[in-house]
Structure 1
Amino acid sequence: MATTHEIKVERRSDEGKGASRRLRRAGKIPAIVYGGELDPVNIQLDHEPVWLASQNDWFYSSILDLSLGGDIQKVLLRDIQRHPYKQLIMHLDFQRVNDKETLRTSVPLHFINEDVSPAGKSSEVVVTHELKEVTVECLPTDLPETIEVDLSELKLGDIIYLSNLKLPKGVEIPQLKLGKDHDDAVVIAKAGREEAADEAADGGEAAGEEK
């Protein structure tokens, strides 16, 4: 079952770059909510609580309850614009979701038990996380905040693929419907010397391209 998080918002009437700059100076974030059968709505949010929320994985993959004066709209974050060097969120895009309609979105992968695995305990094995997130399809009520990848049994030579992931009920990876060629590696455990050889080969190819 998906976890929801409530975020309070206010409607905004002023538009344009000047209005957005004034909002940011006042500690607010300009944003928009769109999708569904309703018209797009311009809103504003307090920067500090949203900035704190943005430090968590759930902010990017969970159903969010936007509360506008007690009116709740269920949404997903679809875009976040950040300042190039300040700790400042410039703008947010939210998309409304319907509990009865399948959605497609990215969910972070949460790797557990690597340190107790045979591969994790060996200084001669390098474990690489090839993917940090995966695109899934499901109903909003089934959307997980993260997908756990248990590495407790991982050993030298093992490869964990997308098809090996244990998905919650009602959750699918649409990429797997395209065939075996799309069953990407998620985790690879290989010998450290092999990793060093691969890096050396990559470096050689890069040097050749520069000539």
Structure 2
Amino acid sequence: MSEVRIAAEPRTEFGKGAARRTRRAGKVPAVLYGHGTDPKHISLPGHDLMLALKTPNVLLTIEGLGNGTELALPKDVQRDPIKGFLEHVDLLLVKRGEKVVVELPVALVGDVVPGGQLAQTAVEISVEAEATHIPESVEVDISGLEIDSQLLAKDLKLPAGATLAAEEDVLILQILDAAMSAAPEPEAAAAEEAPESAEGEGEAAGTE
């Protein structure tokens, strides 16, 4: 997994006004919590944090708080809904060797069988893994899946050291028959024909 060192500063001002001033200074307000400790309000360099968060479940080594370094995982990232910049981040304190539950991306490889159509219903899956050895993704090879087959969470081949934390019967994906998926439903086909029939009847009535 990726581990990034990042410098933090204690934050003593709170509220929307203080948060805006922090962001104008190129920093992001954050809260560091966990292990029964009081939450620490900090600010992090915005550009460095943005680059770090491009990696799912990145492990952050927090420096500059006066008590050595702290290890943390991003748990909640708030972004501006329009401009997309970082507004606030919650960070969970972790220790080396500790197990945590995280969401891993489901990465698909291979091609769908000819005549098949992929329907993926889960793009992430919950797993438990060591905090300092979190896999980047769960890889799924779809090339051997036949039409009408489906893959459940219990069928996933998880990376070494990871165990499933989601329900076993969660549907990950299925391979549909492309021809059947493209065919219109009988009711829909009848509805499309109905207006034409009604129009034809109206024209016939007008000619009488």
**Which range, TM-score by smaller chain?**
0.7 to 0.9
What is the deviation of 1:16? 1.6
Rg larger in structure = 2
Aligned residue for 2:61? 65
SS state at 2:163 partner: coil
Q: Aligned equivalents of 2:107 and 2:36: distance in 1?
A: 35
Distance 1:160 1:23 in 2: 46
How far the C-alpha of 1:37 sits from its partner, in A, is 4.2
Q: Is the 8 A contact 1:99 1:140 kept in 2?
A: yes
Q: Among residues 162, 176, 183, which one is paired with 2:169 in the alignment?
A: 183
Cα–Cα, structure 1 residues 134 and 107, in superposed 2: closer, same or farther, change >3 Å? same
Q: How many pairs were matched up?
A: 187
Percent identity for Structure 1 against Structure 2? 30
**Partner AA of 2:116 in structure 1:** V
**Is 1:164 matched up with 2:151?**
no
TM-score (norm 1): 0.77
Superposed CA RMSD in Å reads 2.5
What does 1:34-45 align with in structure 2 at a 5 Å threshold?
A: 34-45=33-44
SS in 2 for 1:61: coil
The equivalent residue for 1:79 is 76
Would the aligned equivalents of 1:33 and 1:93 in 2 still touch at CA under 8 Å?
Answer: yes
TM-score by length of 2: 0.78
Equivalent residues of 1:4, 1:64 under 8 A apart: yes
Three-state SS of the structure 1 residue aligned to 2:38 is: coil
Q: List alignment gaps of at least 5 residues for structure 1.
A: 177-181, 204-211
| Alignment check: 8 A CA contact 2:5 2:60 kept | yes
Corresponding residue for residue 29 of structure 1: 28
Please give the alpha-carbon distance, in whole angstroms, between the structure 2 residues aligned to 1:52 and 1:138. 23
Q: More displaced, 66-75 or 31-40?
A: 66-75
Counterpart among 181, 185, 208 of residue 195 in structure 1: 181
Unaligned stretches of 5+ in structure 2? 189-208
Q: Does 1:109 align with 2:109?
A: no
CA contact (8 A) 1:142 1:169 kept: no
State the one-letter code of the partner of 2:44.
Answer: L
Larger displacement relative to structure 2 (74-83 or 141-150): 141-150
